[in-house]
């Protein structure tokens, strides 16, 4: 019993206890970091898949609207896009995520569209709008949960890409879909032109704000010049070919391709952001 109060024993104990506490904190810290990295990798993987789905949902919306509006030349591209979406949805079904309800909603919305239940171009547009709204909300939710507290400062403005750039891509996608249908029909109503004018204004405003924010930030190695040029070229095409004429002459596929260039460059900014995030997980 007296050995417990031996000065040498007390001295040894006093030395061991702090070390044990430090080891315990180290183990807990490593466990926390491992969990954070797993969540970060899961988030990045989901964002990668959502980026692919967003592009193909938008493309499917535009092509299917063109076909329903009478341009059968778009049918082959539509079938290819639908097959690509089926593969991506198969991947989504295998995800393990805390956002399971949102993913299931997205998948259910796509399956309803996939069945071809919409017989009119207008109804088809609305169904796709709802699906893509679910997709963009899920992108924002997952991106907003990423823990970047220990990441380089240049990643701080990625929120602009997940929000403003994604929204710009979606307004551009809506203008592509509506305009493709108009070009296929060779005619537009006053209401359609009002809608296109609204989309034109939204694309211009959001893209200008996004490029200004990113130009002032330290965000990665983004090439802002290319998307600026393709967005401006598309806005000019939209204005000249559709906004100012009741009976447009531009071919539906030509208009679709012009809009696609702009959308691809915007979504390329998401690819750059995902690449930066992947570097973070490798370096941590």
Q: Which domains does the chain have, with CATH numbers?
A: 46-144+155-283 (1.20.1630)
DSSP state of 164: I
Q: Which two tokens stand for residue 165?
A: 């750039």
Is the distance from CB of 173 to CB of 265 less than 8 angstroms? Answer: no
pLDDT > 70 in the chain, percent: 79
- Indicate the pTM of the whole model: 0.83
User: What are the b/e assignments for 120-153, b being 16+ CB within 10 Å?
Assistant: ebeebbebbeebbebbbebbeebbeebeeeebee
The helix-helix angle for 75-92 and 100-114 (nearest 10°) equals: 150
Q: What is the number of alpha carbons within 13 Å of residue 12 lying toward its C-beta?
A: 7
Question: What pLDDT tens digit does each residue of the chain (284 aa) get?
Answer: 555 556 665 565 666 766 666 665 655 555 655 666 666 788 889 999 999 999 999 999 999 999 999 999 999 999 999 999 999 999 999 998 889 999 999 999 999 999 876 678 999 999 999 999 999 999 999 988 876 555 555 566 788 899 999 999 999 999 999 999 999 999 999 999 999 999 999 999 999 999 998 888 755 556 789 999 999 999 999 999 999 888 999 999 999 999 999 999 999 999 988 888 777 666 55
Q: Which two tokens stand for residue 202?
A: 């939204």
CA 24 to chain centre: 40
State whether residue 58 is helix, strand or coil: helix
Is the distance from CB of 172 to CB of 198 less than 8 angstroms? Answer: no
Q: Which helix (H) or strand (E) holds 118?
A: none
CA 230 to chain centre: 19
Q: How far apart are CA 170 and CA 7, in angstroms?
A: 74
Q: Which two tokens stand for residue 253?
A: 């596929």
Q: How far apart are CA 110 and CA 85, in angstroms?
A: 9
Q: Which two tokens stand for residue 279?
A: 């570097």
Q: How far apart are CA 208 and CA 205, in angstroms?
A: 5
Is the distance from CB of 128 to CB of 113 less than 8 angstroms? Answer: yes
pLDDT one-digit tens code per residue, 175-226: 999 999 999 999 999 999 999 999 999 999 999 999 998 888 755 556 789 9
The helix-helix angle for 166-185 and 225-238 (nearest 10°) equals: 30
What is the distance between the terminal CA atoms of the chain, rounded to a whole angstrom? 49
Q: Which two tokens stand for residue 188?
A: 């537009």
DSSP string, 216-281: HS--TT---HHHHHHHHHHHHHHIIIIIT-SS--S-HHHHHHHHHHHHHHHHHHHHHHHHHHHHHH
């Amino acid at each position: 019993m007296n050995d417990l109060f031996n000065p040498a024993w007390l001295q040894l104990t006093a030395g061991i206890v702090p070390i044990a506490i430090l080891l315990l904190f180290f183990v807990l810290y490593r466990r926390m970091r491992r969990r954070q990295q797993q969540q970060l990798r899961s988030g990045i993987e989901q964002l990668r898949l959502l980026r692919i789905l967003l592009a193909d949902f938008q493309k499917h919306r535009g092509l299917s609207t063109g076909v329903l509006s009478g341009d059968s030349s778009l049918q082959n591209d539509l079938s290819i896009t639908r097959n690509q979406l089926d593969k991506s949805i198969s991947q989504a079904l295998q995800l393990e995520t805390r956002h399971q309800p949102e993913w299931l909603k997205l998948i259910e919305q796509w399956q309803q569209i996939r069945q071809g239940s919409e017989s009119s171009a207008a109804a088809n547009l609305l169904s796709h709008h709802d699906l893509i709204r679910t997709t963009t909300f899920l992108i924002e939710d997952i991106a907003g949960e990423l823990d970047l507290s220990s990441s380089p400062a240049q990643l701080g403005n990625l929120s602009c890409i997940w929000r403003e750039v994604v929204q710009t891509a979606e307004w551009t996608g809506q203008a592509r879909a509506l305009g493709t249908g108009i070009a296929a029909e060779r005619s537009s109503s006053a209401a359609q032109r009002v809608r296109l004018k609204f989309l034109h204004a939204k694309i211009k405003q959001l893209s200008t704000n996004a490029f200004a924010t990113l130009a002032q930030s330290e965000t990665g190695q983004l090439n802002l010049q290319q998307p600026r040029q393709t967005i401006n070229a598309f806005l000019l095409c939209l204005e000249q070919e559709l906004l100012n004429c009741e009976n447009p002459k531009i071919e539906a596929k030509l208009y679709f391709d012009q809009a696609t260039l702009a959308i691809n460059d915007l979504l390329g900014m998401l690819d750059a952001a995902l690449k930066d995030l992947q570097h973070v997980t490798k370096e941590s």
